A and B are shown apart, each in its own frame.
Chain A
Amino acid sequence: NAGVTQTPKFQVLKTGQSMTLQCAQDMNHEYMSWYRQDPGMGLRLIHYSVGAGITDQGEVPNGYNVSRSTTEDFPLRLLSAAPSQTSVYFCASSYGQAYNEQFFGPGTRLTVL
């Protein structure tokens, strides 16, 4: 099993550009989520999905869109990049219940100039 994979690992964007961060998992997990990690702030939930076709907003959803057309894939779209979106982005997946371990991808380091 590859686990949770994310692409790209690094990305530099100019303000106003759009892009999609890719996330895939091969563990047949129902639950998938996107976090951003900023120094001193821990992880903040952007969007999450409890199954194919179902998504919901987390703590910091503004400026991001998601979709979940398959169980495996959960892409995160930045609509119009802003410097405030410079961060490290992590995708995670788990079986649905709250007590289950979340498995994390290696992260995408995004810089917006």
Chain B
Amino acid sequence: AQSVTQLDSQVPVFEEAPVELRCNYSSSVSVYLFWYVQYPNQGLQLLLKYLSGSTLVKGINGFEAEFNKSQTSFHLRKPSVHISDTAEYFCAVSGKSNYQLIWGAGTKLIIKP
């Protein structure tokens, strides 16, 4: 079985500052890892995913994440945030042999002007 922990429920950051949203997972098998974003009053959409290969994954809107197998982490980063990045960000994990995603509790990114 897999589980996901998002270490921060909210992250406030000034506009144009860098940000890191943390995600740790546990699993006894190899996994796929995902970050989804939910803008206010909308459904979720995929930001990026790690399947295999390079541990640095680039996604949409300037976000990237790094898979660290030894630390079982998949932290999301952006070098300079914009007010339009205000959203809730969800980390998710899936075992390679099943369809189901296990979700973290989410991190709200709050951009301060």
Which residues on A are within 8 Å of B, measured CB to CB?
A: 4, 31, 33, 40-45, 48, 50, 58, 90, 92, 94, 96-99, 101-102, 104-107
Contacts and interface: CB of A to CB of B under 8 A. Distances in A.
Contacts of A58: 100
A65 to B, nearest CB: 19
B105 A42 contact: yes
Contacts of B99: 31, 48, 50, 94, 96-98
A69 B4 CA distance: 33
B94 A107 contact: no
A90 B100 contact: no
Majority DSSP secondary structure for residues of B touching A? loop
A99 B32 contact: yes
Nearest to A91: B43
B45 A104 contact: yes
Interface string B3-15: 0101001000000
Contacts, number: 58
B90 A42 contact: yes
In the complex, which range does the number of interface residues on chain B fall in? Answer: 20 to 34
Interface of B: 4, 6, 9, 32, 42-46, 49, 51, 90, 94-101, 103-106
A48 B43 contact: no
A42 B103 contact: yes
10 contacts: A31-B99, A43-B44, A43-B103, A90-B43, A94-B99, A98-B95, A101-B49, A102-B46, A104-B44, A106-B43
A13 to B, nearest CB: 21
Contacts of B46: 101-102
Given A45-B100, A98-B32, A98-B95, A106 B49 contact: no
Most buried by A among B94, B96, B99: B99
Contact of B51 (A45, A48, A99, A106): A99
A98 B96 contact: yes
Contacts of B6: 42
B91 to A, nearest CB: 9
Given A33-B100, A44-B103, A98-B96, 18 more contacts: A31-B99, A40-B9, A40-B106, A41-B105, A42-B106, A45-B100, A90-B43, A90-B44, A92-B43, A96-B99, A98-B99, A99-B32, A99-B49, A99-B51, A99-B96, A102-B46, A104-B45, A106-B42
